[in-house]
Amino acid sequence: MDVDECAESRHLCGPGAVCINHPGSYTCQCPPNSSGDPLLGCTHARVQCSRDADCDGPYERCVRAACVCPAPYYADVNDGHKCKSPCERFSCGINAQCTPADPPQCTCLAGYTGEATLGCLDVDECLGVSPCASSALCVNEKGGFKCVCPKGTTGDPYTLGCVGSGSPRTECRVDKVGCLDVDECLGVSPCASSALCVNEKGGFKCVCPKGTTGDPYTLGCVGSGSPRTECRVDKECSPSLQCRGGACVDPCRSVECGAHALCEPQDHRASCRCELGYTEGLNGKCVSLCEGIVCAPGAACIVTPAGPTCTCADGARGNPFPGGACYPDLCSATQPCPALSVCVAGRCKARCAGVVCGAGAQCDPALDRCVCPPFYVGDPEFNCVPPVTMPVCIPPCGPNAHCEYNSESPGSSPGSDNICVCNSGTHGNPYAGCGTAGPQDRGSCDSGAGLCGPGAQCLETGGSVECQCPAGYKGNPYVQCVAHLCGRVVKSTDSQHGGAGPGY
């Protein structure tokens, strides 16, 4: 029975090429209105134009009578060469947004602060000087705040202030150069239930109203003259406040959370939750979502709204995932570019055959032209953008191993060209499992059929077994090795352990 490599995404066609299955083999072809080597990649033919309106989408521009996708935008060869925003393949941290630029820029959303590339935290506007009007309460919210009048008072809590039986009387509010007395009696009273707060220069005092007795600082005042308290039960307070001692207070004031956790008031109760980028582990402690994530050299793991991912540091670009690498992107007179690159407007760009390549592109010496690096997409004359997702391996990796992009076999078939690699400090067959005690003993190459993929060679070294593709063949040696003959991909029928040919 023939195996359809095109349907199973096990082909080696280049980006933008079409896979056509044949009995026992398959071929790669460039689609209509495109050109190039189908094993390396196909280039979309440019549409003639006289103005920008003649081009497709909001990003294409008419340049020298042809529609192009200018930087910072890129042409997606895997989606009909549509011109797309670089933010579709650029990751920002939680509570941050991406702005199309060269390179793309991350900024915190309104009401948040921090390093936008790594993630932004909520700004507590209620800390320090309250942004609310006189006698109003400030309640912090995610990405902002709100002002509310205490129970028993009315008014505009944002500008004019709150007045009523629950509002402390203020003679005036001034703002002059110098030091002013802090009125501790404004807002939530620091005194006990039913006690009166009296502001004094440099402090305050609590007194029980006439006709009542008790401790005005801690236990409260009782008696016929006791005024009505602000609350008696939690439901009389805002959901973010708790009724305590007759007053609505923040329940988080007396709660201390563990490492990488913060307190959030909810339904009148204090709740400790893990900070952004952390989750509750098996032991109840907060652990990073980046725990166990492997990134390329020069890259770091960050947490995005879609989950953990890898990104290059500021001032660098490249494939941040395993199998890739990050390299300097910004340049100046004191920070020159690497060899074979030139500094253009503060960005390092490759030069090929006297032509400066687009951002992120590289020069292929064999073809003597600009090309997008493996697993990048775009037009090498303008902009090539790196992958935005973690590599996926087919078959999946074993324990203590991770999947890497395989730049030596960058086909368009998801997963089949990537390879599994043992994690640092471990050894063994990454598809079966890696350990720290040394290479995992897999017996011998004669221990059974199916150890290596069709067309692969089985090697025994130091008590372990390794599979490799022979010279002239490419692919995943644990899945299948294929040979290139005259631009046609030919499936081997010589399996290491015999049996039917791999195309059947």
The string of pLDDT tens digits covering residues 307-365 is 899 999 888 889 999 999 998 888 888 888 887 788 888 888 888 878 888 888 888 88
pLDDT of residue 28: 86
**Residue where one domain finishes, among candidates 224, 248, 266:** 224
Q: For residues 238 and 275, state if they share a domain.
A: yes
Q: Is 499 within a domain?
A: no
Residue 217 has pLDDT above 90, yes or no: no
Higher pLDDT among residues 445 and 214, named by residue: 214
pLDDT band at 451 (very low <50, low <70, confident <90, very high): low
As a whole number of angstroms, the distance between CA 220 and CA 199 comes to 18
CATH at 150:
2.10.25
For 78, other C-beta atoms within 10 Å of its C-beta total 11
Structural domain harbouring 74: 52-84
Average the pLDDT over 468-495 and give the result: 63
Q: Is 335 within a domain?
A: yes
Provide the residue count of the chain: 504
Q: Is 484 within a domain?
A: no
pLDDT of residue 169: 41
Own/partner long-range contacts of 345-348 (Cβ < 8 Å, ≥24 apart): 347/102
Q: Is 60 within a domain?
A: yes
As a whole number of angstroms, the distance between CA 242 and CA 257 comes to 18
pLDDT of residue 409: 58
pLDDT of residue 45: 66
Question: How confident is the model over 186-208, as pLDDT tens digits?
Answer: 767 778 777 788 777 767 788 88
Lowest mean pLDDT among 173-182, 296-305, 310-319: 173-182
Residue of 410, 415, 407 whose CA lies nearest to 479: 415
- Mean pLDDT score of the chain, rounded to an integer? 78
pLDDT of residue 4: 79
CA 456 to the chain's CA centroid:
37
Residue of 392, 247, 425, 250 whose CA lies nearest to 322: 392
Q: Is 315 within a domain?
A: yes
Calculate ∠ Cα 251-253-258, nearest 5°.
100
The SS3 of residue 66 is: strand
Residue 418 has pLDDT above 50, yes or no: yes
CB 82 within 8 A of CB 73: no
Residue type, 200: E
pLDDT band at 442 (very low <50, low <70, confident <90, very high): very low
Q: Which token pair is 251?
A: 């329940």
Counting residues of the chain whose pLDDT is more than 90, the rounded percentage is 9
Q: Is 306 within a domain?
A: yes
Structural domain count, the chain: 7
CA 186 to the chain's CA centroid:
43
Q: Given phi > 0 = left and psi -120 to 50 = alpha, else beta, which region is 267? A: left
Residue 95 makes CB contacts below 8 A (sequence gap 6+) with 108, 109, 112, 119, 120, 121, 122, 143, 276
Question: Strand runs (DSSP E) across 361-418, as ranges?
Answer: 362-364, 369-371, 377-379, 383-385, 401-404
Residue 354 makes CB contacts below 8 A (sequence gap 6+) with none
CA dihedral sign, ordered 287, 291, 297, 303: negative
Q: For residues 333 and 359, state if they share a domain.
A: no
Higher pLDDT among residues 54 and 224, named by residue: 54
Question: Strand runs (DSSP E) across 161-314, as ranges?
Answer: 161-164, 196-200, 203-207, 212-215, 220-223, 242-244, 247-249, 261-266, 269-274, 278-280, 286-288, 299-304, 307-312
Q: For residues 241 and 275, state if they share a domain.
A: yes
Q: Is 490 within a domain?
A: no
As a whole number of angstroms, the distance between CA 398 and CA 232 comes to 59
Q: What is the pTM of this model?
A: 0.60
As a whole number of angstroms, the distance between CA 466 and CA 136 comes to 72
Q: Using the 8-state DSSP alphabet, how is residue 337 labeled? A: P
Calculate ∠ Cα 95-100-106, nearest 5°.
30
Question: How confident is the model over 115-167, as pLDDT tens digits?
Answer: 888 888 888 888 878 899 888 888 888 888 889 887 777 889 998 888 875 44
Residue 70 has pLDDT above 70, yes or no: yes
Report the first-to-last Cα separation within the chain, whole angstroms. Answer: 4
Residue 64 makes CB contacts below 8 A (sequence gap 6+) with none
User: φ and ψ at 54, to 5 degrees?
Assistant: -75, -10
Q: How distant, in Å, are the alpha carbons of 51, 93, 143 from that of 156?
A: 54, 37, 22
Q: Is 158 within a domain?
A: yes
